[in-house]
Chain A
Amino acid sequence: NAGVTQTPKFRVLKTGQSMTLLCAQDMNHEYMYWYRQDPGMGLRLIHYSVGEGTTAKGEVPDGYNVSRLKKQNFLLGLESAAPSQTSVYFCASCAAGASGPYGYTFGSGTRLTVV
């Protein structure tokens, strides 16, 4: 049982390039999230999804797009990378319970550098 798997683990982009980060979970979780974490800071929510085919904006959505075509996958896209998007990106998933989401599980992160 792998939990939450993020691909790739590291990436260096040039300004203006595009890329997609993949998050896959094998726990049949309804909810999935993308966060970014800058040095010495807490995690900030970029986008999230409460189910297949649905997405919503978080705190810092500008410059990112997401898609949830399959329940187990949540993709984060950068259309035109900027140095300000240099960060560590974390994906998370959780189950939907009667009183709300529970059982958050985070991936190990993708370290992205934009030069």
Chain B
Amino acid sequence: LAKTTQPISMDSYEGQEVNITCSHNNIATNDYITWYQQFPSQGPRFIIQGYKTKVTNEVASLFIPADRKSSTLSLPRVSLSDTAVYYCLVVPFGNEKLTFGTGTRLTIIP
């Protein structure tokens, strides 16, 4: 499984756009990238998933460059409720297991 590296923590002010970058240098051809959000005392929640280029949904965007060795989760206009841990995962198509790292602890400052 491809190893992921992401910042341990980040701070941002309310209303700003936040970008969290994940490095996955040894990503394989059949791997896709998925991001989860976890609030204290709750289980992780799926945010977004992609294979290449850009994916956007109602809560976030995911940017994946052509070489796919990194990906960036973009959260537009964050609020205090976006304070959470964000996990980047690389998952082979068809693999039934999710492997979590330590994630990025995002703190939104009023």
Contact = CB atoms under 8 A, between A and B. Distances in A.
Contacts of A2: none
Chain A residues touching B, range: 20 to 34
Contact of B43 (A42, A96, A106): A106
Chain B residues touching A, range: 20 to 34
A44 B44 contact: no
B102 A40 contact: yes
Query: In terms of DSSP, what is the predominant structure of the interface of chain A?
Result: strand
B97 A42 contact: no
Interface in B53-105: 87, 91-103
Interface of A: 4, 31, 33, 35, 40-45, 48, 50, 58-59, 90, 92, 96, 99-101, 103-109
Given A48-B96, A58-B97, 14 more contacts: A35-B100, A42-B87, A59-B99, A90-B44, A92-B98, A99-B94, A101-B95, A103-B46, A104-B36, A104-B46, A104-B98, A108-B41, A108-B42, A108-B43
